[in-house]
Amino acid sequence: MEKIKVAVLVSGGGTNLGALIAAERDGIIRSGTISLVISNKVGAYALERARVAGIEAITVTKAECGSQEAFENRLIEELRSHGIELIVLAGFMSILSERFTSLFRDRIINVHPSLIPSFCGKGFYGLRVHEAALEYGVKVTGATVHYVNEIPDGGKIIMQKSVEIREGDTPEILQKRVMQEAEWIILPEACEKVSKILLGKRGMKD
């Protein structure tokens, strides 16, 4: 069966990448296939996860490229030469420019560890999101998968899942629960959903 070629962009531990790999193995992701992993951080553990799964994994850093523009040009080159049709940002801690996002309109999705529009946008990433949720005192948080456009965390929402905050939660405990109960579930589901949509579009063109 024809599948959409998916690239996963990472910066860190890659537990979301792990969930995507498992979901493809288990048939939750059927319309897409993870073909490339790109890290913008040297030595990110996510790269190791990709290698173990037999997925091509490369590192492209802004420092080595010299500027945001050159960095994005390298990404575009790699994505194009691998025939990538869908880009999944899974803990990718670099904001992409409008030039980049408009080149791949409706073909980039991101997982964010809160219920957007709460605790999102510039400066809200990783543990910081959970610190802010606990500081504010919300009783429910969660995760969101959305399309990526020029506004950080501002693209159309694809899926959300809520997670209860418990007495005694620390940012670390909450981060883990949001991953387990929300991110690792909705990211693979959204990846399948969007891959299926893109397969449909491919059909229309043929």
Q: By the criterion CB under 6 A, which residues form the site for ligand GAR?
A: 10, 12-16, 46, 90-91, 111-113, 125-126, 129, 179, 183
- How far is C-alpha 123 from the geometric centre of its chain's CA atoms? 17
Which is closer to ligand GAR, CB of 147 or CB of 199?
A: 147
63's tokens = 């420092």
Catalytic sites, residue numbers:
112
Exposure of 148 by Cβ count < 10 A (0-12 exposed, 13-18 middle, 19+ buried)? buried
The phi, psi pair for 116, rounded to 5°, reads: -60, 135
Residue with tokens 């899942």: 161
| Nearest partner of 29 among 200, 202, 181, 188, judged by Cα | 188
Q: Are 141 and 163 in contact (CB under 8 A)?
A: yes
Measuring CA to CA, which residue among 142, 83, 139 is closest to residue 111? 142
The size of the chain, in residues, is 206
> What is the SS3 assignment for 139?
coil
